[in-house]
Structure 1
Amino acid sequence: MTTILSLLPLLVLAGCATKQSDDAQSTGSSSASKPVSLSIFAAQDSTRIDYPSQPFTKWVEDQTGVKIDWQTVPSTDTNVVNEKKQLALASGDIPDVFMSGFSKAEEQNYGSQGVLIPLNDLIDQYAPNIKKAMEDIPYLKGQMTAPDGNIYGIPSINECYHCSYGQKMWINKDWLAKLGLQMPTTTAEFEQVLKAFKENDPNGNGKQDEIALSGFQQSWNGNVDGFLMNAFVPDDNTYFFTVNHGKVDLAANKPEWKQGLEYMHRLFTEGLIDQGAFTQNNDAFVQLANHPGDNIIGAYTAGHLGMGPSVTEGQDRWKEYEAVPPLKGPNGAQFTTHTLNLGDGTFAITNKASKEQAIAAIKLADFMYTEPFATNEMYGMSGEYVRPANPGEKDTMGRQAKYTETPENGKVGELRDGWGQIGPALRTKDYRFSFTVPENPYTLVGYEYLLTLSTQKYEGFEPKEAFPQSLFIDPEDAENVQHFQTDINKYIQESMVQFIMGNKDLNKDWNSYVEGFNKLNLPTYVQIMQKAYDSYKQNG
């Protein structure tokens, strides 16, 4: 079958499919007489053909003039991969390239030791695509650059639109229609909807078995408090910071936070929030959401709809739900969190690489910042799972689409060509939006489009200023920050549940809760994070 690459030959030769200017040319070296050997450490995706045997790997090698000596970890479990990576670093038996995540702290640590080499000059001389991306993407340079001014890792850019607005509430639209209710827009309206769900038998089985609102812990935005608190004060669900005119501050000790807790406590005491929302994990909630027989879930929080009802062939319960827009609180607050999906450094060159290998490695990374690479890495070389869009097929923005996923892409259980999403790649919002959208979003092939449409309800409600999700911390502060953040976040989250469930009294215990932050070194923590934020803004 025809590959995407062969249908777009000029795209590959120019290496500029992501709207790059003419100065961002292909960095491939397929004409080199002898390939440059590179040893690369990476996690072997269990859903993919072994990397050394892939047609995609051969294509990458041909395009870049490298020969990859794979050192793979047979797991995508980040803990296992990190353990193997740390063992290699500790022993000194390291590859030329690590194509696995390095945290900001690790980049600084191993960069300062000379284990990871600075990439600034290599990027400037041999990586026009990466250089252009740093110019075009406002947040990229600041989050790549360590406090010492060096770049030690190339991140993967994945501007997943629906992922970037992850604090979502999903509500049963069929129940709303049955009870003659409108989509709630305020916290007061939402409370009335939940009462109707609980009391008026919307599933029609004659039992009061409905759970008005549920959620789950320790997973992507499953906690109900993250969505609801944004109707009172911005809650990023990670640092609990706000930024106002460049000043970093904690949200969780402010009067607005207390108001949010009072609201959620009232919902809980009225039986409108499931107690399990504060104790169960995502697996337990999935069982609840796919409860045999009648549907019992009115609303739930989750990063995407399918973290509840199963989005699979033959299962239709998920089609009963739609996204709730950010609710407006009693004081007019109406926020959501917007996070840009820039991961940590996923491509780092070590001091083991010779000069020739380092140049070949950065050229490889630069090739990975092209659209043909991003497409073939995900879908493989066969053309079985994606094809060029036909004339008249429209993308998310109503433009002529570039690509169309085939029905075969929905198949599971077969090993695929392509590396999946290991290492760096340039998947901008514009690229992700360039695929054909289906007419009906409530289908399996239309699910991604449904998430896009749902996310449009949230765009524009993010705070004007927000604390980045990933920042470089000065090495001399890093250890303290880790302890501070762990202790403070635990204190916030545990206290939140206690206040909501009534184990702590908001009238009697609030002041002591606020004072308790001083014992956890909050002023020092905020001061350090302010310094990191200022450095990020300066480098950006």
Structure 2
Amino acid sequence: MMKGKKLVALLLSLTLCASLLAACGGKSSSGSSASEVVVNKEGYPVVSEPLTMTVMGPDIGITKWDTMPFFKTMEEKTGIKLEFRNAPNDSFETKRNLVLASGDYPDIFFGGQFKSADEVNYGGQGVLLPLEELIEQYAPNIKKILDENPDIRKSITTPDGHIYTLPKIDLNAVWYMGPLWYNGEFLQKLGYDKVPQTVDELYTYLKRVKTEDPNGNGQADEIPLTSTKLKDGVRMWLMSSFGLGLEDIYSDANDKVHYAFTADGYKDYLTFMNKLWNEDLLDHETFSQTDEQKKAKGKNNQVGLIPDYYAYFSYGGEPSDKHPMYQPVASSIDGTPVIPKHPGLAKGAFAISSSNPSPEATIRWIDYLYSTEGAELLAKGPEGTLWDYVNKDTHEKKWNEAPNGEDREEYRGKLTPDYGIVVPGIVNEEVNNGFTSDFDKWITQQNEEKILPNAKVPFPSVYLSESDQQRVSAIRSDLNTFVEQMEAKFITGQEPLSNYDKYLETANKMGADEMVKIYQAAYDQWKQN
């Protein structure tokens, strides 16, 4: 029976693959062989004679890549012309896998993300070329970043010692998801000159919101804390108060790996959240409401603390410093809060296939996007449309109005593929120089004051073997559902916390402790790279 199912799946895959190839067209015949390509190791253009290569990437449907000024500018600069095999973004991964299985590869994969297991699999098969020697010889910008950030190099190096893909690197990244935001009017009305610093102070604030009518309408309609499911904002920031590094897998100061939902401190988190629920300090619609319903309560000036990317998304109004950012609070557990910091890395955004006529020219092409000038081009499109230099030496820039009164951000999606998808390259302070508003500067100040002093990357981006990845995926498929259901039951009182030991036993039987062992081995390998 199983063999029959696999045969049907294989036939379906081949059928879909044939359809995709017919739609995309075969590999370009205009690419030169590697022996014919003369690559200039420095300066531009990259090649002495025009070179054409094929590229596959995700299309979000705004405009075709062959009309984007970004690619036209890159062709003029490098001498490399690209022919595009795009697939819709929502089905890109599936269609890319079909192309990889077909043996008829594009020369370049640009945008989207390879899964770690696919990097290991297709790299090991020789479908994706190793890049580390090319980087050493032909990519000074990438090499400099990796030399200065050894954790990034380790995180993109597979267990066989090779780098098969390049990432998007954001050296300014802080959040995994939007923070919590206090209602500034409530803080002022209740006489706070700074936000709560401890779990007890947070509880007191929420209690006062509930009982002291800070919106001043004479009704007991205030909601101290609300969310759309706990995983969409509240969980991560409050778990940090109990020594838990993130929602899932994390490593502690002693390099020991933990699963947050069975780790020491998780029961303390559940106990605190159950207390908020029982005293009606946590919105009882948290597990059922939509994001729109949550935002409506914030804009109705009912909420004391709310998660969102920015405060004004939920409280309304314009971007401002009116509503302070939440500062993760300390508990009686030593070393708290443990604040998760984004690693600034999105892996798997670029790869070179074994069909590529000149990997040397290709790595030089992509290396430009890891320079400040290349990153500016990729992020905002060519100079002279949406932006101009104020001072090119310092990379200070200014915005221009979008043509024909269009929305600037939507128009940017017509200029560059860096819109709605992960693309390779960097983001740094120079790239954004001149584009930061007073609100942006305030956000930076809030991060520096409240987040960064105690922030750490909870767990590096590690590679698992194909068998380990399959096992972890199988464990998570049932365990994640069980953990989320039990979290809600413990917090709402449907399941008494006296049954917590039974919960731990069940979670470990479902593979929680096995998964920790797998990640511990991968973490140890990462440390040794």
Q: Determine which of 470, 476, 482 is the counterpart of 2:473.
A: 482
Partner secondary structure for residue 123 of structure 2: helix
Deviations 1:421-457, CA, capped at 9 Å, x for gaps: 55311223x435644644xx3xxxx3x3333222121
Change (3 A) 1:454 1:386: farther
Rounded to whole Å, the distance in 2 between the matches of 1:319 and 1:125 is 48
1:300 maps to 2:300: no
CA contact (8 A) 2:54 2:107 kept: yes
Secondary structure of residue in 2 paired with 1:330:
coil
**Deviation per residue, 1:490-513 (Å, 9 max, x gap):** 33322222111111111x201101
Task: Return the offset for 1:92.
Answer: 3.0
Q: Is the 8 A contact 2:228 2:287 kept in 1?
A: yes
Letter aligned with residue 305 of structure 2: A
Aligned length: 479
Match of 2:5 in 1: none
Shift of 1:252: 2.7
Could you tell me whether the CA contact under 8 Å between 2:180 and 2:233 is conserved in 1?
no
Is residue 232–residue 331 contact of structure 1 (8 Å, CA) maintained in 2? yes
Post-superposition CA distance 1:263-282 (Å, at most 9, x none)? 11001111111122233343
How many angstroms does 1:141 deviate by? 0.8
Structure 2 matches for 1:195-214, cutoff 5 A? 195-214=207-226
Q: Which amino acid aligns with 1:172?
A: N
Equivalent in the alignment of 2:181: 170
Aligned to 1:150: 162
Q: Secondary structure at the match of 2:241?
A: coil
Q: Which residue does the alignment assign to 1:132? A: 144
Give the letter for the 1:58 counterpart: K
Structural mapping, 1:281-360, within 5 Å:
281-290=290-299, 294-305=300-311, 307-310=313-316, 315-316=317-318, 320-332=322-334, 333-354=336-357, 356=358, 358-360=359-361
CA contact (8 A) 1:40 1:70 kept: yes
Q: Does 1:267 align with 2:276?
A: yes
Deviations 1:381-415 (CA, angstroms, capped at 9, x unpaired)? 24343333469xxxxxxxx9632442637735435
Specify the code of the residue in structure 1 equivalent to 2:298.
A
Q: Structure 1 residue 148: deviation in Å?
A: 0.7
Identify the residue that residue 34 of structure 1 maps to in structure 2. Answer: 49
Q: Which runs of 5+ in 1 are unaligned?
A: 1-24, 392-399
Tell me the equivalent position of 2:401.
Answer: 408
Q: Which residue of structure 2 aligns with residue 20 of structure 1?
A: none
Matches within 5 A, 1:365-380: 365-380=366-381
- 1:352 match: secondary structure: coil
Question: Does the CA-based 8 Å contact 1:233-1:251 persist in structure 2?
Answer: no
Relative to structure 1, the CA distance from residue 453 to residue 401 in structure 2 (aligned partners, 3 Å threshold; closer, same or farther) is: farther
User: How far apart are the structure 1 equivalents of 2:242 and 2:339?
Assistant: 11
Q: 1:317 to 1:330 in 2, by over 3 A?
A: same
Deviations, residues 85-140 of structure 1 (Å, cap 9, x unaligned): 12322333321111131011111111122221222222222222212211011321
Which of these residues, 522, 530, 533, is aligned with residue 512 of structure 2?
A: 522
- Consecutive unaligned residues of structure 2, counting only runs of 5 or more, are 1-39
Matched with 2:36 is none
Q: Contact 1:160–1:432 at 8 Å: present in 2 too?
A: no
Partner of 1:501: 492
User: Retained in 1: the 8 A contact 2:247–2:260?
Assistant: no
Q: CA RMSD in A?
A: 2.7
Selected match of 2:134 from 113, 116, 122: 122
Structure-1 separation of matches of 2:45 and 2:114: 29
User: TM-score scaled to structure 2, two decimals?
Assistant: 0.83
Stretch deviating more after TM superposition (184-193 or 174-183): 174-183
2:109 match:
98
Task: Give the conservation status (yes or no) of the 8 Å contact 1:162–1:452.
Answer: no
Q: 1:360 to 1:306 in 2, by over 3 A?
A: farther
Mapped to 2, the partners of 1:87 and 1:289 lie a distance apart of 45
1:50 to 64, 71, 94: 64
Give the secondary-structure state (helix, strand or coil) at the position aligned to 1:321: coil
Alpha-carbon distance in 2 for matches of 1:202, 1:186: 21
Q: Which has the higher contact order (CA 8 A, sep 6+)?
A: 1
User: Distance in 2 between the 1:318 and 1:198 partners?
Assistant: 25
Cα shift at 1:473: 0.5
Q: Calculate percent identity across the aligned residue pairs.
A: 28
- After TM superposition, the structure 1 stretch with the greater mean CA deviation from structure 2, 27-36 or 196-205, is 27-36
Task: Establish whether residue 187 from structure 1 lines up as the match of residue 199 from structure 2.
Answer: yes
Distance 1:167 1:317, change over 3 A: closer
Separation in structure 2 between the aligned mates of residue 202 and residue 454 of structure 1, nearest angstrom: 24
